C-alpha cells in the first residue's frame, strides 16, 4: 500500500501515539513475582486475559514458529556465499560482532527491507568488492531475497524448523475461546504460507486433527507484502488490517508476540492487551530474578512509546501461565 492509500483509509498513522503517565513503583507488567532459584511464579496472580477480549491476533516468527535461528542462518549463509563467490574467498565468514549487527538490523523487517539492510551492511564494511561489478544494487536485492527464501523453504520442508514450545497449546486455548484466529506477520506470503503449512499445520494435524486453515483461515492472515515496505512493525498498519479482517474493534483484541516492536505496533493500533513471550534474546534477560532489568527496560523507553501503558502489557516466561478469565 502507498502512504496515500493508508492515510485515505486509516488516517495519518505513526508508530507512536499519546504519552502514558505510569508509576513504575506501583504498576507491575507481569502480575506475579518469581522464585529466585526456579524462576517460577511464587504467588497465584498469574497473568489474566480479561473477559472483554473477543479475538486474538498472533505473530508468526518467534511466537508460533521457532524460525529466528533459521532466518539468521539463511541470512548469513546467503550473504557469505555471495561474498565468497564474488571475492574468491569461499571460506569467508562474518565475525561475532558482525552477526549481532546483522541480527539487530534485519530481524523484524520484510524481505525486501532485510535485503536492503544486508546490502548497506556489505557496503559499509567494504565487503562488496566484486559484487557490485556483476550486478547493480537493485539487482542484488531480489537476488539475495530469492536465494535466502529458497534455503529457508528447504529447511521448513525438511522438518528442521519447529514450533515454539507451548505455542500450539496456547493457540488451541485461544481457538477454543475465540474461534478462528488472525495472523499478522512481517514475513512475505511465500514464506509465511510454508511455515504455516509445514510447521504449524503439521503439529495441529498430528495433535488435534485440525488443518491450519481451520485455525488461521486464509482471509484472516496479514502478510508483510500486504502492508508494504514502509509500514513494517512498529508501524501499526498490520494490526489495524487484522482488526478489520476480524471485524472486531482493536480495543477488544489481544496480540501475541515475542518482540517489543511488535507489541508497540499492536498497542499503537489500539489493542486492548498484548502478550510478550520472551522467546528471543531481546526480552529473556529481563526475566533474570533480582536483576531489576525488567523495570529498567520500561523506565528507559521513550516517553511516547505505547509500551509504557503497562495496564495493557502482559509478559510471561511460560505460555501455560496465561489464564483466560471466564
What pLDDT sits at residue 40?
A: 46
Q: How far is CA 9 from the centre of its chain?
A: 25
What pLDDT sits at residue 12?
A: 42
Q: What is the mean pLDDT of residues 220-224?
A: 93
Cell numbers linked to 298: 520500561
What pLDDT sits at residue 287?
A: 38
Q: What is the mean pLDDT of the chain?
A: 75
Angle CA 53–20–271, to nearest 5: 20
Tens-digit pLDDT profile for residues 179-220: 999 999 988 899 999 999 999 999 999 999 999 999 999 999
What pLDDT sits at residue 91?
A: 75
Which comes out higher in pLDDT, residue 57 or 225?
57
Print the SS3 string covering the chain: CCHHHHHHHHCCCCCCCCCCCCCCCCCCCCCCCECCCCCCECCCCCCEECCCCCEEEECCECCCECCHHHHHHHHHHHHHHHHHHHHCCCCCCCCHHHHHHHHHHHCCCCHHHHHHHHHHHHHHCCCCCCHHHHCCHHHHHHHHHHHHHHHHHHHHHCCCCCECCCHHHHHHHHHHHHCCCEEECCCCHHHHHHHHHHHHHHHHHHHHCCCHHHHCCHHHEECHHHHCHHHCCCCCHHHHHHHHHHCCCHHHEEEEECCHHHHHHHHHCCCCEEEECCCCCCCHHHHCCCCCHHHHHHHCCCCCCHHHCHHHEEECCCHHHCEECC
**Helix 201-208 × helix 167-178 angle, to 10°:** 70
Query: pTM of the full predicted structure?
Result: 0.75
What pLDDT sits at residue 43?
A: 44
Checking if the pLDDT of 291 tops 60, the result is no
Which comes out higher in pLDDT, residue 110 or 297?
110
Which comes out higher in pLDDT, residue 60 or 91?
60
Tens-digit pLDDT profile for residues 127-155: 655 565 656 777 778 888 888 889 999 99
What pLDDT sits at residue 30?
A: 40
Confidence of residue 284 (pLDDT cuts 50, 70, 90): very low
Contacts of residue 20, Cβ cutoff 8 Å, sequence gap at least 6: 306, 308, 309
Checking if the pLDDT of 52 tops 70, the result is yes
Checking if the pLDDT of 15 tops 80, the result is no
Which comes out higher in pLDDT, residue 204 or 31?
204
What pLDDT sits at residue 253?
A: 96
Amino acid at each position: 500500500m502507498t502512504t496515500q492509500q493508508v492515510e485515505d483509509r486509516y488516517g495519518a498513522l505513526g508508530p507512536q501515539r499519546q504519552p502514558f503517565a505510569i508509576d513504575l513503583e506501583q504498576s507491575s507488567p507481569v502480575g506475579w513475582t518469581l522464585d529466585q532459584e526456579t524462576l517460577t511464579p511464587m504467588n497465584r496472580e498469574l497473568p489474566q486475559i480479561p473477559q472483554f477480549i473477543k479475538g486474538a491476533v498472533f505473530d508468526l516468527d518467534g511466537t508460533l514458529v521457532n524460525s529466528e535461528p533459521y532466518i539468521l542462518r539463511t541470512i548469513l549463509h546467503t550473504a557469505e556465499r555471495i561474498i565468497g563467490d564474488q571475492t574468491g574467498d569461499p571460506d569467508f565468514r562474518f565475525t561475532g560482532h558482525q552477526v549481532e549487527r546483522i541480527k539487530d538490523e534485519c530481524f523484524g523487517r520484510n524481505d525486501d527491507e532485510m535485503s536492503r539492510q544486508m546490502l548497506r551492511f556489505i557496503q559499509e564494511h567494504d565487503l562488496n568488492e566484486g559484487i557490485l561489478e556483476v550486478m547493480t544494487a537493485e539487482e542484488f536485492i531480489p537476488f539475495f531475497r530469492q536465494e535466502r527464501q529458497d534455503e529457508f523453504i528447504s529447511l521448513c520442508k525438511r522438518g528442521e524448523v519447529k514450533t515454539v514450545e507451548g505455542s500450539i497449546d496456547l493457540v488451541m486455548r485461544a481457538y477454543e475461546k475465540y474461534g478462528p484466529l488472525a495472523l499478522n506477520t512481517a514475513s512475505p506470503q511465500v514464506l509465511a504460507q510454508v511455515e504455516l503449512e509445514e510447521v504449524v499445520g503439521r503439529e495441529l494435524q498430528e495433535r488435534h486433527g485440525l488443518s491450519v486453515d481451520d485455525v488461521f483461515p486464509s482471509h484472516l492472515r496479514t502478510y508483510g507484502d500486504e502492508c508494504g515496505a514502509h509500514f513494517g512493525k512498529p508501524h501499526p498498519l498490520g494490526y489495524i488490517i487484522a482488526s478489520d479482517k476480524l471485524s472486531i474493534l482493536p480495543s477488544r483484541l489481544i496480540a501475541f508476540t515475542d518482540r517489543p516492536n511488535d507489541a508497540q505496533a499492536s498497542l499503537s493500533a489500539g489493542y486492548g492487551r498484548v502478550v510478550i513471550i520472551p522467546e528471543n534474546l531481546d526480552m529473556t534477560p529481563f526475566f533474570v530474578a533480582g536483576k531489576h532489568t525488567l523495570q529498567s527496560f520500561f523506565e528507559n523507553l521513550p516517553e511516547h512509546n505505547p509500551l509504557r501503558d503497562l495496564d495493557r502489557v502482559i509478559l510471561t516466561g511460560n505460555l501455560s501461565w496465561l489464564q483466560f478469565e471466564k
